Chains A and B, each alone.
Chain A
Amino acid sequence: MRRWFARLAALGVALLVAGQGTTAALAQDPAAGKKIMRIGATQAMDSMNPFLAVRVVSTSIHRWMYGFLTVPDSKTLQPSPDLAESWTTSEDGLTWTFKIRAAKWSDGKPITAEDAAWTFNKIMTDEAAKTANGPAVENFESVTANGQDLVIKLKSPQASMLENPIPIMPKHAWESVTDMTNYDAEKYPTVSSGPYFAVEHKKDQYVKLQANPGYWRGKPKVDELQVIFYDNPQAAIAGLKKGDIDLLGRMTPQEFEAIQNDPNIEAWNTQGRRAAYLQINHGATTTDDKPTGDGHPALKDLKVRQALHHAIDKQKLVDEVQNGLAKPADGSIVPPMYKDFFWEATGEEKVTYDPAKANQILDDAGYKKGSDGVRTMPDGDRKLEFRFTIHTETPIEDKLAEYLTAFFKEVGITLTTVKLDSSKFTEETGITGNFDIAISGWSVNPDPEEVMATHLCSRRPAPGGEGGGTESFFCDDTFEKLYQEQLKELDRPKRIDLLKQMQERLYTQAPIIAIYYTNDLEGYRKDRITSITPIPEDKGLLYGGSSYWPFYTVDVKATAASGGGAGGGSNTGLIAGVVGGVVVIGLAAFLLTRRRKSTADERE
């Protein structure tokens, strides 16, 4: 009994110290009065150098630090002025002239067209600088500056010129960098043109950014942004619940459910920018049109692909695989959040869940059911047994595979699951073509040109097996023609129509079958964040939008007013340290007394 008393006493002392510590800590918080916004991320930055960084978290942070020629408008997502305040295009669409805004870098130097020209020319001439955004300048013939005028000459017309993803860098701070490959850009404070500039980066731990008082739209409402990295999502969720961070984006349905009922957390659930689809090996070929891989021959038949489409109950997948946090896909690869570009199948063309119809199509096409209920090819005895390739250790894909197997069984098709780690997966489904059906998905940008390009003939692997980044091995004349037309079409409504026709083509030819559009799932502390504007402003995304807008508009309570939660991080640490010390000393003392006592016992 006595030892339990001792343990309870130690715990009591610890709690007492903790309680007193909290009150004392709040009074002497060094960050009091400052507005600090803390964002959690489950990925650390790969590089502070925008010429090299490719991870989503890095490009997001760079968007808050550097301006672009244009940015998506916060309401319509159409290209709108950023560092370029206006622009003109020549008759032939080959010469673009951008007028650069008379704004200032965070070190006070003026922003000129020279800066933009230097940035583009650097990427065009230096192989190492191409790492992050090389393809974006591929079509550039020359870039020159004349005062505040930036003139870009193109090799061929390009309608997506206003979607250029390259941040404009300050020439005066960067031109001395000769070895771009090895330049980590860890120089603080950074010279920035966006709403924030970085002041500190502790690798794999956090990045601190400060509000840029000279930002051309005006200084942000918060004083400091902190991006705090977590190695695993569970820890990040725990951090949000505890109040160590104020916002966490990119959650899975399971993670989202963990925060949904927390009274202090606003659960953010809106239409997302991601489409999930099945990639069907409809006869994979390389760029010289030679077949590659070991795809099942039945999948070359459009009728079989259409039957598969009819056999999938997308609503059930949404309800049971995605826990209702997605939207069934009645279109193609552009999700409905992009109202302008989204194409939805209607009428005759719309493929509904109808296993009877799927069976009918297969029966009519001569795929006879055997005694075991599995169909065979009309011209032979090969059974309709397909492989479904998914990633290892992705519970959601496992579940999806279970449902698809059951759906396809209904129409006399056997599906077996193949699990591959991500690099092998990329190789087999994107280069060698050793698959039948594979899971895939794409997070679409405000302009869908890039995702469309992943279905071009030229994206197929070269004969040597070099990958070009195809998402389907698709190679279709109609699709190619539409793509080329939209490249040159500078009239936005006309171009949108062309891009919709491309989606329709993908839908009817079914090299891919879109199954659902996953929702954007995020969470933020209601007790800390007083206002934040998503992008687009009408029920849009926060962190998931990879835009500076939510983080420019955000307002939080000043630190001293936070009261609840954890208070200042440093003091929590201090208290915890004291408590830890007390517990250790208490335990040690307890053990020592025990030891003396037992020795005494032995003496008797």
Chain B
Amino acid sequence: MTTPLEAAEPAAAQAAGPGEERPTGRGVLRYALSKLGGALFGIAMVLVGTFFVFRLLPGDPVRNMAQGRNMTPDQLDAERRRLGLDKPLIDQFIDFVGDTLRLDLGMSYEYKRPVIDLIGERLGPTLLLAGTGLVIAVSLGIWQGTRAGWRHGSRFDRFSTGASLLLWSVPTFWLGLLLMMVFGVGIGPIPGILPFRGIESVDAPDGFAYVLDVASHMVLPCLTLVAVVYAQYLLVMRSSLIEEVSQDYVTVARAKGLRDDEVRRRHAVPNALLPTVTLVFMRVGFVVGGAVTVETIYTWPGLGQLFYAAISVPDFTLMQGTFLLITVAVIVMNTLADVVYHILDPRVRSA
């Protein structure tokens, strides 16, 4: 009896090198292409959806921008012309699709700057925060999930599952403010030393000190982000490991005389990882969207904050641009997840 892990290794080799096993390699390619087609169709639908959904929202951006200011109907009309809102809807749509394909996401109503520039500025901070958060949450979740699942029912299991579920159910905003008060401002004997605003200090130092400065600004947002989401990785990992524990190959591995630790690390965990991989890839897509709440609490200059600002105006072009970016990222990552999954697990391929 072979373990699925051993089977996976030659499969990966086949996918990598198109040597003798041509049919399988072509299979993966054909599969990837069909998935790509699906993704392109999805993106096209998102384009259509985005355009019309954002125009169905209540509120006229021009009226909203004029709020509290003295603007005559003539000026409102001029403003509409400037923004291209006076054209028929279908013309606006054609313009929109053409521009989007040329990566021109339009001008932000509020900031009076190209949306693509605004997004570009925000992408770095968002990837830094949400990426770090994801890596920590996934590692923590997988580590705790593995231990909890392996000895399920143990004190560690009950404690870590309970704690993660508790944090999962806490409102992000509340937890963020609490952490800010305790570790940012300081309560009683706890000194408030962690910064809680932005990505760097106003008088940020240069060189290595700058790295430390940014790192210190990341502690609280990262902590909040991880605390709230790591439960999902923990639970998925834990439940799939519990399933593996009762499998025959685990018994065989034990019978071979392998140490408990090795049975877990080399046999059970790699198989149990598959559902977690899917979950992680899905979340990677959302990383681009940032974490709206966390970014808003800690004034982190990321895409989530930009999206939030766009909604409150409402700034149609900016909303459209950020929304498009997020949905496209999710679609792309999901497609990638499908393909990677296909390569990782031979069972999916034969099915």
- Tell me the A residues contacting B by CB distance below 8 Å: 15, 18, 30-31, 38, 44, 46-47, 49, 52, 54, 127-128, 130, 134-135, 181-182, 184, 203-206, 208, 226, 228-232, 234-235, 238-239, 241-242, 244, 421-424, 426-427, 430-431, 442, 450, 453, 462, 464, 466-469, 568-570, 572-581, 599, 602-603
Contacts and interface: CB of A to CB of B under 8 A. Distances in A.
A423 B198 CA distance: 29
Interface of B: 58-61, 63-73, 75-78, 82, 107, 110-113, 121, 177, 180-181, 184-186, 191-205, 209, 211-213, 215-217, 219, 259-261, 295-299, 301, 305, 308-309, 312, 314
A573 B60 contact: no
A238 B59 contact: no
Q: Which of A208, A423, A468 has the most CB of B within 10 A?
A: A423
Given A134-B75, A181-B82, A602-B261, A206 B216 contact: no
5 nearest CB pairs, A to B: A423-B59, A577-B212, A576-B216, A466-B73, A577-B216
A235 B78 contact: no
Contacts of B73: 462, 464, 466-468
A573 B216 contact: yes
B71 A135 contact: yes
Contacts of A238: 180-181, 184-185, 196
Contacts of B75: 130, 134-135
B192 to A, nearest CB: 6
Contact of B63 (A130, A427, A573, A577): A427
Contacts of B216: 572-577, 579-580
Given A431-B63, A450-B70, A467-B66, A573 B112 contact: no
A582 B61 CA distance: 49
Contacts of B296: 231-232
Nearest to B147: A598
Given A238-B180, A572-B193, A577-B213, A205 B58 contact: no
A462 B193 CA distance: 57
Contacts of B261: 599, 602
Contacts of B193: 18, 572, 575-576, 579
B112 A184 contact: yes
Given A235-B298, A424-B58, A575-B193, A47 B112 contact: yes
Nearest to A229: B299
A52 B213 CA distance: 34
A233 B196 CA distance: 13
A234 B177 CA distance: 8
Nearest to B192: A242
A205 B306 CA distance: 13
B180 A235 contact: yes
Contacts of B198: 205-206
Contacts of A38: 202
B212 A573 contact: yes
B212 A127 contact: no
B197 to A, nearest CB: 6
A423 B204 contact: no
B142 to A, nearest CB: 14
A145 to B, nearest CB: 27
Contact of B112 (A182, A572, A602): A182
Contacts of A569: 195, 201-203
Contact of A574 (B184, B205, B301): B205
Contacts of B110: 46
A30 B70 contact: no
A427 B297 contact: no
A424 B60 CA distance: 8
A348 B198 CA distance: 57
A574 B212 contact: yes
Contacts of B201: 569-570, 572-573
Nearest to B59: A423
Nearest to A208: B202
Q: Which of A230, A573, A574 has the most CB of B within 10 A?
A: A573
Contacts of B259: 602-603
Nearest to A42: B299
A160 B309 CA distance: 35
Nearest to B295: A231
B115 to A, nearest CB: 13
A235 B112 contact: no
Nearest to B218: A580
Nearest to B205: A570
Contacts of A128: 82
Given A208-B202, A570-B203, A572-B193, A235 B212 contact: no
A431 B298 CA distance: 37
Contacts of B64: 422-423, 426
B309 to A, nearest CB: 8
A581 B71 CA distance: 55
B67 A426 contact: yes
B213 A573 contact: yes
Given A204-B301, A426-B67, A427-B59, A574 B209 contact: yes
A574 B216 CA distance: 7
A300 B181 CA distance: 51
A313 B31 CA distance: 72
25 contacts: A46-B111, A52-B112, A127-B78, A130-B75, A135-B70, A135-B75, A184-B112, A206-B202, A229-B299, A232-B297, A234-B297, A235-B299, A242-B186, A423-B63, A431-B63, A569-B201, A572-B193, A573-B204, A573-B205, A573-B213, A574-B213, A577-B212, A577-B213, A577-B215, A577-B216
Q: Which of B71, B201, B203 has the most CB of A within 10 A?
A: B203
A579 B112 CA distance: 41
A572 B195 contact: yes
Q: Which of A134, A235, A427, A599 has the most CB of B within 10 A?
A: A235
B65 to A, nearest CB: 8
Q: Which of B82, B199, B213, B261 has the most CB of A within 10 A?
A: B213
Contacts of B200: 205, 573
A97 to B, nearest CB: 26
B202 A228 contact: yes
A15 B112 CA distance: 47
A241 B185 contact: yes
B202 A226 contact: yes
A170 to B, nearest CB: 21
Given A205-B301, A576-B219, 18 more contacts: A135-B72, A182-B107, A205-B199, A205-B202, A228-B202, A231-B298, A234-B180, A239-B197, A242-B186, A423-B61, A423-B314, A427-B58, A464-B73, A570-B204, A573-B212, A574-B216, A575-B193, A579-B193
